[in-house]
Amino acid sequence: MPTACRIGPSRLALLAHLLPATAVAGLLCFVLSPAPWLALLLLLLTLAILAVRRGPCGELRAEADPSGGVRWRWCAAGDKEARPVSLRCDYLGPWLIGLRLDGRRLWVWPDSCSPQAHRELRRWLVRH
């Protein structure tokens, strides 16, 4: 039985990037005068937002193959057809899932997809 997980940008990932960036900028405000501090804060915030927005968005599909394994397919946002990919799970935590999708890092946060799809993806990764 195939399963699909639509993966999109995560607000939790954005928060995880923004908090350290803001903390660094806040610490530097004691060292630098206000003008460089504000410029640095804007730069760090922009970089954090871009890092999260650049993450892959699309649909990851798992299909059982006849030999008992699993075939993974990825359909990037804007593509019409899914393509076969190699998938490796680096980290499988209770909320966060770290994947290598054709060598590219993909973090699946709890709000990256629906709770049901997140649960199904975890189950597929544990079984295979």
pTM beyond cutoff 0.85: no
For the chain, give every domain's residue range. Answer: 3-8+57-127, 12-53
* 1-11 tens-digit pLDDT: 457 889 988 88
* 22-56 tens-digit pLDDT: 787 778 777 777 677 777 778 877 887 787 777 77
How far lies 84's CA from each of 1, 57, 62, 81, 128, in Å?
Answer: 17, 16, 10, 10, 16
* 71-98 tens-digit pLDDT: 999 998 888 899 999 999 999 998 999 9
- The candidate with the shortest Cα–Cα distance to 8, out of 120, 119, 118, is 118
